[in-house]
């Protein structure tokens, strides 16, 4: 929701008697974007230089705004998805951890992530031969191509095959097994929740090779610890190896963002290939350090951490 900050009484309002008070540029009526994440105990508010796009797809409201600090910002159903300034933290850490934990990933599936950021990162790995990019909402791809060329830049790569469909349906009928499946979805209680069901996790496992890995975000460990634990438990019913790592993200409420890994066999904590790609945040040390310490992880799952 974009609100006009009209009711605030400031120095430029009619109630000032200061002689010669001029309307300065920074005192002009500022439009603000109030993020509406019902489950966030804090509310993020962004100053809006410009609303670049506002539309409605079959699935959701799509909006692009310009913010002086973060650059262009993509918003779906009132919730911030990415900003030009910090998207690489999320996209690099979503993709490179499992890709480096695999000794030779050739076939990768990206579900969601219509902006193309995850695909861009996957393509940095020269060993990857095929990327299935499965997005349910084509409008998000179109908007990203138009407003976020630096994010969507990989989508025309010949290794990428785009499918506009429900990712849960795609993995059930995957043409050949994948080495890595990456889910880049919107909020867990929204329409993307099919990507967090036990059925889906089970289809993903069956879509993976014997050494395959799966990763998905599971929200903030600060705000939604119960959900993080719940999803670790659900993955554990399906995958022999399950783990969790976290990434600091400036713009997602709760900031301490958790990523859940389900693996057929390989421990995701160890990179199995040298770092040969160019990244801004991810590296092999960050990889290891992103995982919770084993004691802390155990205490988390045992619900011994009261917050």
Partner 1 sequence: MVRNFKVERHHARIVSKSTLFKVLDYLDSREITTPCLLVDKEKVREKVSLIGRGIRNAKVFYALKANPDMDIASFLQDERDLGYEISSEGELNVLASVGVRAERIISSNPVKSEKFLQAAFAYGVRRFAFDSSLEVDKMARLTPGAGVYVRLSVPNEGSEWPLSRKFGAELEEALGLLSLAREKGLDPIGITFHVGSQCTNLYNWNIALDKAKILWDRALVQGIALRILNIGGGYPINYTRAVLGIETIEENIDKLIREKFPPDVEVHIEPGRAVVGDAGILAASVIGKAKRRDENWLYIDVGVFNGLMESVGGIRYTYLVESSKGTRRNWVLGGPSCDSFDVIDKNVVLWEPDLNNLLLILSGGAYTVSYASEFNGFSIPKTVMI
Q: Which residues in the 12-41 window bind partner 1 by CB under 8 A?
A: 36, 38-39
CA 145, 156, 96 angle in degrees (round to 5)? 90
As a whole number of angstroms, the distance between CA 220 and CA 253 comes to 7
Check binding of 227 to partner 1 (CB under 8 A). Answer: yes
Are 264 and 240 a contacting pair, CB within 8 Å?
yes
Q: Binding to partner 1 by residue 58, rule CB under 8 A?
A: no
Return the residue of 230, 236, 269, 277 that touches partner 1, per CB under 8 A: 230
Judged by CB under 8 A, the residue of 12, 57, 194, 255 near partner 1 is: 194
The distance of Cα 265 from the centroid of its chain, to the nearest Å, equals 25
Q: How many whole angstroms separate alpha carbon 33 and alpha carbon 47?
A: 6
| Minimum distance from residue 44 beta carbon to partner 1 (Å) | 14
Residue 304 binding partner 1, by CB under 8 A? no
Neighbouring C-beta atoms of residue 34, cutoff 10 Å: 12
| Nearest-approach distance from CB 86 to partner 1, in angstroms | 24
Among 86, 137, 166, 184, which one carries the catalytic annotation? 184
Give the binding range for partner 1 (CB under 8 A) out of 19-27, 187-195, 241-249, 259-267: 187-195
Q: Where are the alpha helices (DSSP H) in the chain?
A: 87-101, 117-122, 138-147, 149-152, 167-172, 198-207, 225-236, 284-290, 294-301
Look up 184 and say whether it is catalytic.
yes
Catalytic (active-site) positions = 184
Binding-site ranges for partner 1 (CB under 8 A): 36, 38-39, 188-191, 193-194, 196-199, 219, 224, 226-227, 229-230
């Amino acid at each position: 929701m974009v609100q006009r900050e009209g009711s605030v009484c400031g120095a430029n309002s009619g109630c000032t008697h200061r002689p010669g008070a001029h309307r300065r540029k920074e005192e002009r009526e500022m439009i603000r974007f109030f993020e509406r994440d019902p489950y966030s105990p804090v509310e993020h508010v962004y100053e809006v230089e410009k609303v670049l796009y506002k539309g409605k797809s079959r699935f959701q409201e799509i909006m692009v705004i310009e913010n002086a600090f973060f650059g262009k910002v993509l918003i779906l159903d009132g919730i911030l998805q990415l900003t030009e300034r910090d998207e690489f933290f999320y996209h690099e850490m979503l993709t490179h951890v499992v890709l480096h934990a695999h000794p030779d990933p050739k076939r990768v599936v990206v579900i969601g992530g219509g902006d193309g950021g995850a695909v861009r990162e996957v393509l940095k790995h020269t060993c990857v031969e095929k990327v299935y990019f499965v997005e349910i909402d084509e409008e998000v791809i179109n908007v990203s191509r138009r407003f976020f060329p630096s994010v969507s830049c990989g989508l025309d790569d010949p290794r990428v095959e785009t499918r506009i469909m429900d990712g849960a349906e795609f993995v059930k009928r995957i043409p050949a097994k994948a080495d890595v499946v990456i889910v880049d979805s919107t909020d867990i209680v929204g329409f993307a929740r099919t990507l967090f069901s036990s059925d889906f996790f089970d289809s993903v496992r069956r879509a993976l090779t014997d050494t395959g890995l799966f990763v998905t975000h599971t929200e903030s460990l600060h705000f939604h610890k119960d959900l993080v634990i719940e999803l670790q438990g659900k993955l554990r019913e399906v995958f022999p190896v399950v783990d969790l790592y976290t990434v600091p993200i400036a713009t997602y409420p709760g900031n301490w963002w958790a990523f859940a890994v389900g693996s057929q066999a390989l421990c995701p904590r160890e990179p199995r290939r040298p770092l040969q790609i160019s990244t801004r945040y991810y590296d092999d040390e960050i990889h290891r350090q992103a995982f919770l310490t084993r004691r802390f992880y155990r205490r988390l799952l045992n619900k011994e951490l009261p917050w």
